[in-house]
Amino acid sequence: MKVSVIIPVFNRAQLIAETLDSVIKQRFVDWECIVVDDGSSDPTVAVVSAYAETDARIKLFVRPDARLKGANACRNIGLEEAVGEYIVFFDSDDLMTVDHLSTKVEAIERCQCDYVITRTDYFNLATDRLNAYYRFDEFPITPYNYVAQHINWLTYDICVKASLATSICFNEQLQSGQEYNYFSKLVHLSCNARFIDKVVTLRRHHEDSIRSKLKTDRALSTSFFRVNWYTYMDLLPVAEPKTLRVFMVRCMRLVYSSRSILIPERLAFVREVFKVYGLKGFYFVLMVFSLKLFNKGYWFLQQLTK
């Protein structure tokens, strides 16, 4: 088996068929498509099961109750079950162009690299906002450039050697930003990658994204904090100090802007603040103290993050 396509799905009975049709229509035929259901309450499982009955390359798995709910666990299950030489992540509501897999496989083998990155564009929204992701002509692929978001890509843009993709996993504690966490770990394992300037994924625009469901500013700030904090901890043994500092600066600014952010592992976080900033870490303590008493603290934030 050459390629394993991994698709997490939840309540997409009206859309998953169109996605699977786009996989079946691929010019490249040596693939398996692993669909992992996240506990759908609509007929999603029945729809995928019908496809699996007619095409053995489509394989349906259901997330066990013992695993945390979410796309992260589903993608991890897909990685555990995959037998392909290469891994392609995809979403249950988007579409592949007919040359999606062939473009990726040909490029990764021609370039002899660990992964390739392609382009995505919307098929139901007129916008060029995704262009800001693909600034590979300005910035090389390095851990720092990805972490700092000088470069970026979407989950389904990438095709990775399975030996590399399965050596890390998606953080199942995160409800959003999980792709950023995963790819931050990926670039620290290898930057032997190539950008292929071609659109091979057609993205569906939705108004009800996870991030839009995080309605309050506090919830949104807490979500961003968790992404940066957990990614910092995941990369602590391998990342350069300037890269780790990117995460800590973001965390500091989120603490300041939200005032009452819910910090997981509070003592561990304070300990890492002092580890990164040394004695300047006292500015963090003073900032939090000033916020609680006077609703001020910007001067201390400037001293800490500059």
Cα→Cα distances 164→10, 72, 134, 189, Å: 27, 17, 22, 8
- The overall average pLDDT reported for the chain is 89
What is the rounded average pLDDT of the residues 170-190?
94
What is the rounded average pLDDT of the residues 37-42?
97
pLDDT at position 260 = 60
pLDDT at position 214 = 46
What is the rounded average pLDDT of the residues 161-167?
98
d(CA 39, CA 197): 36
